[in-house]
Amino acid sequence: MKLGFMPFDPQTRFQALREMALAAEDAGFASLWLADHFFHRFPDQAAEGFWEVFTFLSGLAAVTSRITLGPLVACTAFRNPSLLAKIADALDEVSNGRFILGLGAGWHQPEFDTFGYPFDHLAGRFAEALQVIVPLLREGQVDFTGKYVQARDAVLIPRGPTPGGPPILIAGKRPRMLQLAARYADAWNTAWHTTPEAVSTRYADMLTACQEVGRDPATLELTVGTEARILSPGESAEANPRVITGTADEVIAAFQGFAAVGVRHLMVMLPDSSPAQIARFAPVVAALADA
């Protein structure tokens, strides 16, 4: 099972994020993920902002050499789908084939309302966006006219180094989104979970979706998001049901539970995303890779 790294604070400055990325690469993490939001705004809470995800991923692609990069996940409603395919292909080039295009329909309505994006028929709009993005990346061209999206004789030129374009990961949990992932994606993500049992429940729904669209589930990579922290020597764990916390061996044991239910790529958000904490995961990465 591969391990990916995701920083906890979306407002981390680029130079600090660069150091985290290099630390994650040195620790052996297979991938690094950033969220795609404008902000989070919840009742009785101050708004939390985010950097523009593709700008930052492009910068990280230029300063790393081994780690795979991707958005977890890019909202198709925020960008014209033809442009989104173009961005993905350019990142495939900048990263020299180290890019995964994570996609989702979006969910946080305040972002849509503030920036002027329609919030209706999210799954329907997502389905049409995929009918542009997927053929553009896979075949380099598309001609599509839908209710929400149009791409007339669109072509993708030039092309990045990955034949057929970068892999596509889709996140979702409702029946229609699961069917779209089963139909179009190379990987499916479910998050955030701290137990294999929760993953198994969600995966059962995906297996049903695969059956409905005629997809062999073995060809769809199961990926999961979780939160974890490794204790420093002598440190006591604070009870937090949302975060897997313990020694390196205890975290390895917890992660092996995910591998046992079929997870092939585990994206780990670190509440403490310091380079020192990232380095503590090196033996965890090695143990899961060896297993």
pLDDT single digits (tens) 227-237: 999 998 888 87
Q: Which of 192, 225, 185, 188 lies closest to 204, judged by CA?
A: 188
Give Dmax (Cα) for the chain.
63
Query: With 80 as the cut, is the pLDDT of residue 291 above it?
Result: no
Q: How many CB atoms lie within 10 A of CB 92?
A: 23
Q: What is the dihedral of CA 247, 266, 226, 203, to 10 degrees?
A: -130
Query: With 90 as the cut, is the pLDDT of residue 239 above it?
Result: no
Percentage of the residues of the chain whose pLDDT score is greater than 90 = 94
270 SS3 class: strand
What average pLDDT is seen over the chain?
97
Mean of pLDDT values over 105-119: 97
**What is the chain's percent helix, strand, coil content, to nearest 5?**
45, 20, 35
Query: With 90 as the cut, is the pLDDT of residue 113 above it?
Result: yes
40 SS3 class: strand
Residue ranges and CATH numbers for the domains of the chain are: 12-22+30-221 (3.20.20.30)
pLDDT tens-digit map of 254-289: 999 999 999 999 999 999 999 999 999 999 999 999
121 SS3 class: coil
